[in-house]
Amino acid sequence: MDAAVWELDAAGTPVRKVSQGELTDNTFYGVDAETMVAASHAIEDLALDAANGFLLASFQDSQNFESQRERYWQVAATIDEVQVIYGGAKPRRDGRVRFASMKGTALERYWVVLYQGRRAQALLLSRQTNVTLAVEDKTFAGFYTFDARLIESVRREVGQMMVRRQNQLSEYERLLALARAARQIQETFVREKAWLEAALGRWQAQREPQQLRHFSADFDQSMQHFQELKGRLADTLSLAESETHHD
Per-residue pLDDT tens over the stretch 10-22: 889 999 999 888 9
8 A C-beta contact, residue 42 and residue 175: no
pTM score, whole prediction: 0.79
pLDDT band at 148 (very low <50, low <70, confident <90, very high): very high
- Taking residues 222-234, report their average pLDDT: 69
pLDDT (tens digit, 9 = 90+) per residue, 36-51? 999 999 999 999 999 9
Domain spans in the chain, listed from the N-terminal domain onward:
5-165, 175-246
How far, CA to CA in Å, does 214 sit from each of 74, 135, 227? 70, 56, 20
CATH assignment of 5-165, given 1.10.287, 3.30.870, 3.20.20, 1.20.120? 3.30.870
- Specify the 3-state DSSP secondary structure of 240: helix
User: To the nearest 10°, the Cα dihedral for 61, 77, 32, 177?
Assistant: 90
Q: What is the DSSP code (8-state) at residue 105?
A: S
**pLDDT value, residue 237:** 59
| CB-based contacts of 74-77 (< 8 A; 24+ apart in sequence) | 74/48, 75/44, 75/47, 75/48
